[in-house]
Structure 1
């Protein structure tokens, strides 16, 4: 544990987390990552719940994409379920991993350099402390000073991006048996057998031997009570199955649809979209998915399903630029 002499609102500031050095109990920290263009440090809230018995370390992170706040509510509502006297192991919770992106309600990490770069942090792991991209330096601080040594299992909580919606959906690398185990504990509507994306937390964690999921919890910029309930239950199921708390696994009666290919239907030009299908709906090849209209209300295009599949994502913002996603399908091939 590398601490500083700083105290903010009664909360100690740290430069490096080491949960092994902490006493049993509940701990609050601000993690000091990199600085902004004014020289002020980005400080990330960290909650550590350390149980009375030694065990696994479960790391739960939300809002690496700044507009994807649903996981914050999941973390907040999970806290009353965590009793240090009844917990084996340690739970680390980060309710807001990208403060500058959150302040802009933006998916990206904004940096003030020569090109005013907006960077996807979930493509930058494990980061580079010497990079010319400030986001890569920020990712390096997260990876090396916050994540490493403090996670045996990692759940990265996300949502769809602004203007689109997911059901409860998982990216899961089914080539890894522990990842399959984790996925089976979540009350997810749909799961993609995911070979991974370089630079994402999920992929890079699995690569270093830490089972991880990307857990997509609906829509951006909202707290959805149903998604909160299901997200909390998935974490409780994980804690039960890994022997960290007592209880029973409860999938809330949900049977997950598992696919191995996602298919995006995108616009050819801009206009006003009207989606004709719903999340989790099964559709057949050739079925109408969406229409696009011009400013005069005239339908300029109709978009149909290129294959059979289940509706994985829909646009919620009617205005669509060329190349924007209208509908996303999940299927098994």
Structure 2
């Protein structure tokens, strides 16, 4: 019998339940939706979670489409799923947990006696640490972003090559291979000996069908490559970036982009112009390096010093 929260599944069975994370402000219990798929055959354990950031919904869309297609009698191994990790942020449609104004994906491995966010991290990490592989489904918040997978352990980490291989198998087409901030699940998982990646499934307000489709394919790629399901994976070369340059605007106004997501740029390529409301150009911003346009702000108005876009640099293929 495999358990996650109240979900219980014998070999060849699936169950849906709840994972307790504490009390709400009215004293009622707060739980996360979880699922256990206990395969009929023996094999690895995969942990998947979505909505670590409450406004990043594409991962939830992936689970909505993946889980109904899975038959535990055809699975070898176990799949543990937390469908919505950041309960409070998800309910409010916000990025951070509004109870303590904290980003969940900066608090792993968490603290069961800590803040609201630390308690969520501790309870979900208990489940994740039982796995052999971890997928933490994200998106580029509500900005516009390419579909990519992030390897966050750093190139000197003992599990780097395994994490990079997991990212390649997922197969979004782009990989950001750059050490991430402390407290990220994709940092802490490898420290515990578990290959972990952070698929960033585009960027959208609500669902983006193409990014969800890529995420669904990525999950099935992982399930087949690591022998949870029968099948073969045609691994494609991925475009990998080791650096990440962010560009802000030195002036306020209206952004007019000269480049598209995924476009290759060279040094001095014009990325965007800023105009006043009458169309007069106030400034023009160019790329410092060669790379790929990785992310763009969605709303045209910008204040002085505000973020506008990012370019992935130090590009190769893997």
Q: Report if TM-score (shorter chain) is over 0.5.
A: yes
Q: CA deviation at 1:226?
A: 1.6
Cα displacement string for residues 9-47 of structure 1 (whole angstroms, at most 9, x for unaligned residues): xxxx937x7x7x744311000111122222222211111
The 1:119–1:269 alpha-carbon spacing in structure 2 relative to 1, beyond 3 Å, is farther
The 1:222–1:297 alpha-carbon spacing in structure 2 relative to 1, beyond 3 Å, is same
Distance (Å, rounded) in 2 between the aligned partners of 1:261 and 1:318: 25
Distance (Å, rounded) in 2 between the aligned partners of 1:244 and 1:274: 47
Distance (Å, rounded) in 2 between the aligned partners of 1:324 and 1:41: 39
Cα displacement string for residues 206-256 of structure 1 (whole angstroms, at most 9, x for unaligned residues): 1100100010001133222221221111111111111111112145xx642
RMSD: 2.2
Residue of structure 1 aligned with 2:28, choices 35, 40, 43 = 40
Distance (Å, rounded) in 1 between the aligned partners of 2:129 and 2:20: 15
How many residues align? The count is 310
Distance (Å, rounded) in 2 between the aligned partners of 1:321 and 1:94: 38
Residue of structure 2 aligned with 1:148, choices 123, 129, 133 = 129
- SS of structure 2 residue aligned to 1:135: helix
The 1:258–1:294 alpha-carbon spacing in structure 2 relative to 1, beyond 3 Å, is same
The 1:124–1:86 alpha-carbon spacing in structure 2 relative to 1, beyond 3 Å, is same
Alignment of 1:95 with 2:113, yes or no, is no
Distance (Å, rounded) in 2 between the aligned partners of 1:323 and 1:220: 23
The 1:325–1:273 alpha-carbon spacing in structure 2 relative to 1, beyond 3 Å, is same
Q: Is the Cα–Cα contact under 8 Å of residues 109 and 119 in structure 1 kept in the other structure?
A: yes
Q: CA deviation at 1:68?
A: 0.3
Distance (Å, rounded) in 2 between the aligned partners of 1:137 and 1:78: 28
How do 1:160-179 residues align onto structure 2 when only pairs under 5 Å count? 160-162=140-142, 164-172=143-151, 173=153, 174=155, 175=157, 176-179=160-163
Distance (Å, rounded) in 1 between the aligned partners of 2:205 and 2:299: 13
The corresponding residue for 2:289 is 307
The corresponding residue for 1:246 is 230
Alignment of 1:14 with 2:11, yes or no, is no
Cα displacement string for residues 135-193 of structure 1 (whole angstroms, at most 9, x for unaligned residues): 2233222223x3332x210000111122x121111111454221122011122232111
The corresponding residue for 2:68 is 80
Q: CA deviation at 1:329?
A: 0.6
Alignment of 1:109 with 2:92, yes or no, is no
Residue of structure 2 aligned with 1:272, choices 244, 254, 260 = 254
Residue of structure 2 aligned with 1:125, choices 105, 108, 119 = 108
Which 10-residue stretch deviates more, 45-54 or 185-194? Answer: 185-194
- SS of structure 1 residue aligned to 2:304: coil
Gaps of 5+ in 1: 4-12, 112-116
The 1:322–1:141 alpha-carbon spacing in structure 2 relative to 1, beyond 3 Å, is farther
Distance (Å, rounded) in 2 between the aligned partners of 1:255 and 1:321: 39
Distance (Å, rounded) in 1 between the aligned partners of 2:13 and 2:111: 33
Residue of structure 1 aligned with 2:240, choices 249, 258, 263 = 258
The corresponding residue for 1:284 is 266
Residue of structure 1 aligned with 2:196, choices 197, 201, 212 = 212
